[in-house]
Amino acid sequence: MELIKLSCGVGKSYEEAVTALFEAKGKKGKNEYNIIVYDGPRLQSKIHEGIKEKAKTYLDLAKSLTPGQKKWLDQITLYDPVTGLLNKVGFAIRIDEFQKKGLLEGYYIFFDIDDLHDWNVKLGYTIVDKYLEAIGKTIKDNLRFHNLYPIAEGIPDIAGHRLNESAGDEFLIFIPGKHTLENDQEVIKIAERILTKVYENQKKLCKQLDESPR
């Protein structure tokens, strides 16, 4: 089996990360870590009104539930069942929680699988799904507090989100952090570290798949 590569865009808003990712996709395969950092005029993040409405519906319903009921609702409403990462609604709620705690700045890291359609044709959807599950789990397991925000001590960890409504499979991470030159460099190291772990775990998966009976 082969490694499935990812491209990565980094920005100080969702829109900046998307723009950087688009540029990275045009340079895929040219370096070990295909990471592009947005370098242009500031772009502001906006949450789609439909997502806001779904988040409000969840929050209103959660108020009337017992802890056990809320835990069940969270699992089916806020999380992706394959990877355990937050879905769109859960991600929006987590970002709102950060902002209410005064964490108003941060960085977005946006991963996208290269040539997913071609991999589906080459390996089949069942095998590719195993890769997706491994990639998502690796990202989830590596979401940890990075201390980019001085007042973030004890705040919930960075937020990870799987986007799979489009033609590809994408993974979005938000890290609360002051926009400083030091953090600008640190967030690139974080993206590289996550990609390193993703490829390490892919190699283990490839070995398992190669050794499994056909």
- Residue 68: what pLDDT? 92
Q: Rounded mean pLDDT of 58-86?
A: 88
The answer, yes or no, to whether residue 32 has pLDDT greater than 60, is: yes
Residues 152-167 pLDDT 10s: 455 445 566 666 554 4
Question: Is residue 70 a part of any domain in this protein?
Answer: yes
Mean pLDDT value of segment 43-66? 85
- If one counts the domains in the chain, the total is 1
Residues spanned by the domain of 87: 6-211
Residue at 1 is within a domain: no
β 106-113/6-11 pair status: antiparallel
Residue 150 lies in a domain: yes
Phi-psi region of 29 (alpha: psi -120 to 50; beta: other; left: phi over 0): left
Mean pLDDT confidence for 109-122: 89
Instruction: Give the pTM.
Output: 0.86
CATH assignment of the domain containing 125: 3.30.70
**Would residue 45 count as lying in a domain?**
yes
